[in-house]
């Protein structure tokens, strides 16, 4: 394995928060976390199911381009004069005696067994053509939206992973602070026994130890929370705890160069505009003529499978809506208003995306500089503490000054870790917002 057994063992035994009883700790890499989110995140499954539904909608909308064929079978028995005469006529059993007024007015009950095959086809229907285009736009929007959801889930997994690594680093800093405070307590206690310091100095040192212990307890709690949140994003059961193998906060910048309009979420938004435009054409197409052909072959007989008489019908109809109670125009205007709203919404989304991208770039630049400054401050505080400890041992400084220097050094160590965490999160966010790669959109869409 690429990260090595030693690394895993180091992570699992790094003094991290102990999982709850009955939970399994599982080492996980950043790439494995991204893969798990891509495959098992709940919202990914939802988005992919919607994309499949939209694809089926295209097939359904395009069904009018093929003839519809139906088969019928039935039986009827009636003494209704019209039905009886019509039945005899369809069965080919009309004779001169059937025109007797007495029989016409009071016929005997007749049975008719019928079967038919019918077909209808509308080769010219402008409204349905536009509805098919709308279904295709909806399917494209759903496809792009599903792929964006996959990317967003990967990004969320990366964020939670980086946070978990950062919390482990904070816990390490908190434990270092606790150890340093305990070491100071021992030194101060020994000097108090020698008569150089008072009980007040010992109590101050003990207070510093307990404060550091409280910080270590809170750091363990925050690490456990971070790992639990990571497990949720990965779609893991609650009895499995992911343990990131990284001991340093991941930091990689690979922002793609390209037009922001090519980003998946913005392409999905544009597909929504195309969908609204197709709805306008669909509504307008309702006022145009439609041409429909039909054909029917049927049989009638007085008994099942015997004495059958067949006939057939073929033809076509042209329908032109003349007045529909203003429904067509109202639908067209409503669709046009919706299209306008979608265009405005898309433009707003584009503007917000551009602003968000610039904010992400500035945030990464500021976080990088802040991380450097925090690291320099922590290093300076460590050196100042080292000098203060030497002066304290030589009796040239007070207990309060030593403990103050230790407190500042501990706080700045934690600040340096948090600044490094902010830098890692800023890099991940910029990578996500500049992900313009869309050559493999079909991957996993049918899963």
In sequence order, the 6+-apart residues with CB closer than 8 A to the CB of 432 are 151, 152, 155, 158
Kindly report, residue by residue over 311-326, the tens digit of the pLDDT: 999 999 999 888 878 8
Greater confidence (13 vs 240) lies with: 240
Write the pLDDT tens digit of every residue in 352-393: 999 999 999 999 999 999 999 999 999 999 999 999 988 888
Average pLDDT along the chain = 88
Integer Cα distance of 131 and 14 in angstroms: 61
Q: 440 falls in which pLDDT band (50, 70, 90)?
A: very low
CA 344 to chain CA centroid, nearest Å: 24
Q: What is the pLDDT of residues 62-115, one digit of tens each?
A: 998 899 999 999 999 999 999 989 988 988 888 888 888 888 888 989 999 999
Other Cβ atoms less than 10 A from the Cβ of 304: the count is 12
How confident is the model over 121-146, as pLDDT tens digits?
998 888 999 999 999 999 999 999 99
CA separation, residue 136 to residues 132, 141, 192, 262, 278 (Å): 6, 9, 83, 19, 10
CA atoms lying within 13 Å on the CB side of residue 111 = 9
Over the stretch 171-208, which tens digit does the pLDDT of each residue have?
999 999 999 999 999 999 988 888 888 899 899 999 99
Instruction: Return phi, psi of residue 332, to 5°.
Output: -65, -45
């Amino acid at each position: 394995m690429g990260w090595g057994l030693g690394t895993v063992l180091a992570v699992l035994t790094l003094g991290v928060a102990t999982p709850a009883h009955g939970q399994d700790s599982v080492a996980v890499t950043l790439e494995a976390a991204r893969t798990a989110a891509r495959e098992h995140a709940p919202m990914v499954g939802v988005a992919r199911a919607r994309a499949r539904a939209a694809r089926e909608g295209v097939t359904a909308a395009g069904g009018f381009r093929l003839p519809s064929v139906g088969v019928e079978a039935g039986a009827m028995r009636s003494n209704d004069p019209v039905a009886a005469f019509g039945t005899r006529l369809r069965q080919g059993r009309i004779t001169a005696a059937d025109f007797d007024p007495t029989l016409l007015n009071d016929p005997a009950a007749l049975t008719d067994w019928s079967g038919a095959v019918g077909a209808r086809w509308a080769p010219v229907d402008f409204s349905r053509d536009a509805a098919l285009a709308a279904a295709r736009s909806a399917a494209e929007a759903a496809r792009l939206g599903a792929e964006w959801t996959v990317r967003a889930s990967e990004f969320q997994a990366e964020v939670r992973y980086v946070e978990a690594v950062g919390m482990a680093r904070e816990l390490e800093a908190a434990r270092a602070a606790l150890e340093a405070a305990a070491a100071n307590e021992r030194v101060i206690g020994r000097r108090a026994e020698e008569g150089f310091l008072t009980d007040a100095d010992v109590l101050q040192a003990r207070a510093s130890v307990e404060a550091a212990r409280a910080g270590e307890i809170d750091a363990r709690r925050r690490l456990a929370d971070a790992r639990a949140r990571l497990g949720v994003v990965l779609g893991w059961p609650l009895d499995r705890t992911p343990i990131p193998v990284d001991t340093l906060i991941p930091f990689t910048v690979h922002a793609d160069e390209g037009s922001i309009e090519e980003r998946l979420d913005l392409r999905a938004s544009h597909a929504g505009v195309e969908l609204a435009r197709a709805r306008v054409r669909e509504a307008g197409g309702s006022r145009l003529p439609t041409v429909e052909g039909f054909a029917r072959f049927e049989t009638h007989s007085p008994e099942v499978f015997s004495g059958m008489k067949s006939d057939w019908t073929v033809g076509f109809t042209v329908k032109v809506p003349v007045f529909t109670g203003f429904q067509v125009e109202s639908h067209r205007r409503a669709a046009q208003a919706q299209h306008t709203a979608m265009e405005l919404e898309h433009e707003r989304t584009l503007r917000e995306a551009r602003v968000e991208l610039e904010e992400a770039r500035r945030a990464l630049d500021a976080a990088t500089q802040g991380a450097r400054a925090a690291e320099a401050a922590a290093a300076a505080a460590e050196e100042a503490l080292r000098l203060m400890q030497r002066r304290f041992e030589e009796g040239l400084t007070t207990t309060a000054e030593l403990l103050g220097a230790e407190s500042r050094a501990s706080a700045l160590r934690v600040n340096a870790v948090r600044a490094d965490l902010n830098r890692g999160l800023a890099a991940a966010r910029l990578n996500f917002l500049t992900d313009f790669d869309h050559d493999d959109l079909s991957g996993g869409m049918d899963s």
